[in-house]
A and B are shown apart, each in its own frame.
Chain A
């Protein structure tokens, strides 16, 4: 048994002995190295390690969760959490934790990632690649991540997990207002392509040179995977049953109804090889591939055992962190690895069929007037290329997409054959595998 699994089992045993009726203990070890670079040189290299146990306990309907970080004092801390739970006000909507005889996939990692001794080398290669294509200023990050977890629950969960990955982000400028942004995200060292990532960022930056003021009106948009993943950040969040419950989702009351064009199939799949491959959810249920939108029709929300009970369905193994994290609510079911199933288009073909449009590399700052209706705007950034009569004819700047998110997904009419794994900062997240897509007749605005 792995050490973390043993730790989780030990904490579970203590919790049950102290009087918990349900408990989940997840022991986690995270080790990260980060190279930060800007102005074509390295600014700082940071490294951090975290060792903790996330503990959830219920005493009947009285629930309590905690993040235990004093590992040499786990027994006492666990007893204290159970004691607090006994005195806590009841949570009438608590629906229990998953139980059963669970079978888990065996995690495999690329151990060469752990021995990457000098993470500055790929960064310097990426900078050189971008400069080769005309970039004059290059910035970004390289993360080397390793995480391991062990989980044990009173419902029968007992498993270990491990993941290692690399994610390189390169933003290259050819002029002060002309940039390109590219990524290389992978669980395999051999698939990290620093030079190619730099070259492509440099190429995009060169194509974005001399941008002109963007125009307002209806435009067809061809958006790269990075831009699409920025939109998936909020879209996937609204698939969470808990967001539906509190009225913060455009998907409320839409199960079985069209929420995207028939070309769109949206899956949450933490079982595939990726940065966010995950063996079990935060209740210890083995993760699985969930088809959330099939041919444009909403099939399910993302559930934990508790939300599933309230919605009279079964968990989808998407139980999120049992403690609140920045910008998410505690107990919120969450997507782990969104996948948009690719189409059969080449990107050039997608562009050639556009009379008046924009090709968009990236976006950020997506905000909603109203999550329940989907009215939103987002800000394209990096290469924004003008398309006229099927050709790219120059670059634009200072535009905003101001539309409705349901309308956006319903207006997708082409998806590329090629997909990319994307993870950038907290914007294009969670890690997703998606194609380039074409969206017809989006409303584009700008400052007056």
Chain B
């Protein structure tokens, strides 16, 4: 215990965190601008009439009018401030809150790498990554050459969790024995430049699956040990750029490559900065310099908070064990678990409006309510299907609807759905039957008893 405390509190150079801070801030700035430039703010947050909120976060709503743009502007500017190391504590808090708020608006935009960004932003609040090479050094005439080791180790641990959990998630029958979903995804992509013809070959698809699994499981260790670090880093850059080339995963590859530089030695980071000698002299030579770090730099509150955070990080991905049935099928406990590019789920959900006094099921055109991206994501995820059913019930209550000869007033509309899902290379199966009145099912985190299980 004492040894652990010594390892965590020993002073380390403040430079590696500074380079990480700069790269992370810049990437987030670019990522935010790209999102804006692509028109996605309007498409995903302003245009849709309905958003799929997270359980317990129903109060997080898309902002009206220009509000969404202002929120994004705040998010992008705070990311830039982080890169510059300007008003660091305020910018990290602002970035964490604005970014997380945006991500909480709609489940259908959930991506593992957005979740990762939120976590890193949260950790940065407590990590003095502005100790060196920051504008704060200039303005406050203070810099620290050394900071306690836990600040860097917290990030290293977080990054290692992401890879390792992503790796063990790949140890499953479909991934290793069937080479799925890579076969489903890549076999039609035989026209990909250079490597495409290889996607026709089964051995290639197995090779990619197994290498992907081994890479994710081993990369934290390869990076931690000095002797394998360069090998690991080369593999990591290749892996991320290759997946970035194949799949529409945005800035994710660069976020992860940027994280990996934290594993490198202080000397590596000094060399990095010596390339920018003028900045170095201006920023690094700020006086008075505080050499070393006497306190461990963290209050008991922060230590407790981080300990709690990491316990959660280690436990949350296992929560699926509390749910009956196949995780990939029911999707219960799937998110927030570093299951990245792990399964191909294609769902089709046909919603019906039913009058309690009549036998018929009248189809509902969901395109009147949802954006295509929302439909695609919802169609295989039961929690979203249930939310949408409740939304439809609210919409139709009190309305008079005409369909093919009938005109009825709906005081208590019933919403049902036939949902079929195709998982990887297996045939579609029924996930939800229209005999379940979805609008009567409670929205909560308990197992959804009305799902038709995969092995039934």
- A and B: real partners? no
Residues on A facing B (Cβ under 8 Å): none
Query: Which residue numbers of B lie inside 8 Å of A, CB to CB?
Result: none
